[in-house]
Amino acid sequence: MTDEINKCIEVLENGGLILYPTDTVWGIGCDATNEEAVKKVYQLKQRNDSMALICLVANDAMLEKHVEKVPDLAYDLIDLASKPTTIIYDKPRGVAKNLIAEDNTLAIRVASDKFCQYLIGKFKKPIVSTSANISGQKTPISFQNIDSAILKGVDYVVNLHREKQNSFSSSIIRLANDNTVKIIRE
């Protein structure tokens, strides 16, 4: 796993894209603080950049660094969720401008997968996590279902967990600073 993490970090540091297994489905990732790298993700997915992307952080400390104020309820949602849960926060900071939604929010998930935690922890910055498909196409449930355009469009493909099948995406919850909760995707 260490070799794979080091290869990913080299690509991420150079503004490249990785294809990697997450705690949900296979994802396309890049340095979430690099505007040009984020632009490449939108181009590869053929996705309008007004449709926000998710980013992953390694732990609560990294989350707190990239959100102006993490509502207390967020920690309960993260700890008590039965599946990976992405939370949309108000007033993100320290990430690429083109990663932030028009309403000044950002969808962030604290990674529960060991590979992702180690990768992001060693990289010391959040990484983008968006499903490995062209926008509008079905999310692949396994590595074998990933479109060849995606495989060719990234700079590095992680050579771990390729046999794993995950047919679920994360839950997405909008949590405003006034503690208003809205379930976007179960």
In this prediction, residues 82-89 reach a mean pLDDT of 92
Task: Give 185 or 167, the one with higher predicted confidence.
Answer: 185
Q: What is the pLDDT of residue 20?
A: 94
The token pair that represents 96 in the structure block: 């690429």
CA–CA separation, 26 vs 33, rounded Å?
21
The pLDDT of 94-103, averaged and rounded, is 94
Give the dihedral sign, CA 21/93/185/45: negative
- Give residue-wise pLDDT tens across range 108-167: 999 988 999 999 999 999 999 999 999 989 888 889 999 999 999 999 999 987 776 666
- In which element (H, E) is residue 9 found? helix 2-13
d(CA 39, CA 69): 27
Helix (H, G, I), strand (E, B) or coil at 59: coil
- Quote the CA–CA distance of 184 and 174 in Å, as a whole number: 7
Domains, the chain, ordered by start: 2-185 (3.90.870.10)
pTM for the whole structure: 0.92
pLDDT tops 90 at residue 95: yes
Count of helix runs (H) and strand runs (E) in the chain:
6, 9
Q: How far is residue 158's CA from residue 150's CA, in Å, rounded to a whole number?
A: 13
